[in-house]
Amino acid sequence: MRSLLTALLQGSPRALARCITLVENEASGYEALLTDLPPNHHTRVIGITGPPGAGKSTLVNGLIELLLKQGKKVGIIAVDPSSPFNYGALLGDRVRMAQHFNNDNVFIRSMASRGALGGLSPRIIEVSDLMKAAGFDYLFIETVGVGQSEVEIAGIATTTVVVVVPEAGDEIQTMKAGLMEIADIFVVNKADRDNADAFVKNLRILAHSRTQETAVLKTVATTSEGLQELVQAIDHHQASLTQHPEKHAQLLTEKAWQLIQRQRMRAFNRQELYQQIKAAMEKEDFNLYRFLQAFYGAA
């Protein structure tokens, strides 16, 4: 395991892939692998989220191409919807990013959401830490695009980019209750469409009303328009984090909270719970809350 970690820290893509597999499968020794990871203050972790059809994958693909030209090393975690048959990732994002597969400075990993409501994967925290240890300059985490429940990304990425399109203008008020709260940068993609300027103006007014002003940028990912400005905005936001250590503490707290929740839930077996509830329902006075009190006591 030590030699595998050494290879990972040296940037070996094969070692990284193997480490991710060990963690996802909870193979023997995976916990020791994680506890031996050194701190990383170099990799910029960027969450890319937003509603379906906003062009998130095309945007990430364009950012990869731009950053490679700048000599950067880029990692991508693409969280795909799960297959309803085997819970594996459907690999849609890998198809769209196929042109970068053979580039030594790019590592793309697709993960299945497995029904997670936050648009992420159950092992996303550990996998992102493994990829940070591999020494990428930028790590992009693209979520499946399930809408306002994707606020979970804000607890993992140091910069959260919310991608929307001009047609979302009618939904701008409802965004305040969800994606508006987590955005560090707003990107209005497909900005060559009608009403884009009016939408950007309204979005900037909303963003300006926040305690911490959020950048609003226009892009056309298919032609790479606005992507350089987006990278500059990401770098600017990352640089500002050094002046706000409380933000870093909040991120670590959120990650710790999610890891603690998962660890505590390992003691519960869903199928076993189903069997117990099914049996308890046969009693005429069945009450879910009394059942749970007894269940917690037995656990």
Domain CATH number, residue 111: 3.40.50.300
Whether residues 53 and 87 share a domain: the answer is yes
Scanning 183-287, the segments in alpha helix (DSSP H) are 196-208, 227-240, 245-265, 270-280
Amino acid present at 80? D
Q: Do residues 181 and 288 share a domain?
A: no
250 in a domain, yes or no?
Answer: no
- Provide the pairing of β-strand 74-80 with 106-112: parallel
Same domain, 175 and 161: yes
159 or 264, higher pLDDT: 159
Q: What is the pLDDT of residue 117?
A: 43
The verdict on residue 16 lying in a domain is yes
Output the six-digit token pair for 8.
Answer: 């990972």
Q: How many domains does the chain have?
A: 3
pLDDT for residue 94 is more than 60: no
Q: What is the mean pLDDT of residues 226-231?
A: 97
Residues 33 and 60 in one domain: no
Find, among 191, 198, 187, the residue nearest to 162 by Cα.
187
**Which tens digit of pLDDT belongs to each residue from 51-88?**
888 899 899 999 999 999 999 999 999 886 543 333 44
User: Are 166 and 277 part of one and the same domain?
Assistant: no
First to last CA, the chain: 34
Mean pLDDT of the chain: 82
Positive or negative torsion for Cα 58, 60, 66, 69:
negative
The Cα 151–Cα 254 span in angstroms is: 11
Would residue 70 count as lying in a domain?
Answer: yes
Which range of residues forms the domain containing residue 278?
267-298
Same domain, 139 and 208: yes
- Prediction pTM value: 0.82
Whether residue 240 is found in the same domain as residue 280: no
Shared domain for 127 and 174, answered yes or no, is yes
Give alpha helix (H) positions in 92-220. 92-96, 124-133, 172-175, 179-182, 196-208
Query: E strands of 42-132, at which residues?
Result: 44-49, 74-80, 106-112
2 and 86 both lie in a single domain:
no
The torsion angle over the Cα atoms of residues 270, 272, 278 and 283, rounded to 10 degrees, is -120
